Amino acid sequence: MRVEAPSMRPAGVVLEESERSQWNFTPFVGVGPLRFGMDHDEVVAALGVDHASVSVPGRWATFHLPTSRGAALTAYYADGRRLHGIAVDALHGPQVTMDGLQLVGQVPSKLAVLFVDYVVSQGLREDVTWSQEGDPGADELGLVLRAQRAGDILLTRPVFVAREWANRASDNWEGPIPQEEWRVHA
């Protein structure tokens, strides 16, 4: 039996937990090495990637990280090309943890229960917001737990936002998250 190195995996394969970088999320501050308010060059430098691994089609950019095989995250910019949103790919992105709760690549229905319990335990508003697609979020955290296809299953693709985008972040019609993000399903 031949075992492939992580860098040789096809783009559709979900990374194992041991293959993912481990990042933390601090609401309204940042995710892993990224801080809200960074400009694009600062984001590239913080991720330690070269410009060849970056796709920049306007207000957003996708990044391939050294441990990923495919787009590992998408950065969304606003207000003079400053970082306002970060979506972490369910298949290839780093594992992002918030107070021990793993947010990337999880079964959406199971994580939703844990997420609601977490929000309530933090003394935040007791009700979690829900997108029109059924994704839970909390404006008080600047977080929406989207679902993304991984073949025939769904896994979580969290979207983290700066305080300026937190109001109605789960609203995929009138909220601040760019429409490009709401069109990502696979």
pLDDT for the residue 8: 37
8 A C-beta contact, residue 49 and residue 66? yes
pLDDT, tens only, 24-56:
999 999 999 999 999 998 999 999 887 666 776
Query: What's the pTM?
Result: 0.89
What would the 3-class secondary structure string for 38-103 be? CEHHHHHHHHCCCHHHEECCCCEEEECCCCCCCCCEEEEEECCCEEEEEEECCCCCCEEEECCEEC
Distance in angstroms (rounded) separating the CA atoms of residues 135 and 69: 25
If we measure between CA atoms, which residue out of 176, 181, 183, 148 comes closest to residue 75? Answer: 181
Contacts of 54 (CB under 8 A, 6+ apart): 44, 61, 62, 63, 64
pLDDT for the residue 166: 95
pLDDT, tens only, 89-103:
999 999 999 999 999
3-class SS at 161? strand
Report the mean per-residue pLDDT for the chain: 88
Distance in angstroms (rounded) separating the CA atoms of residues 62 and 54: 6
pLDDT lower than 50: segments of the chain: 1-10
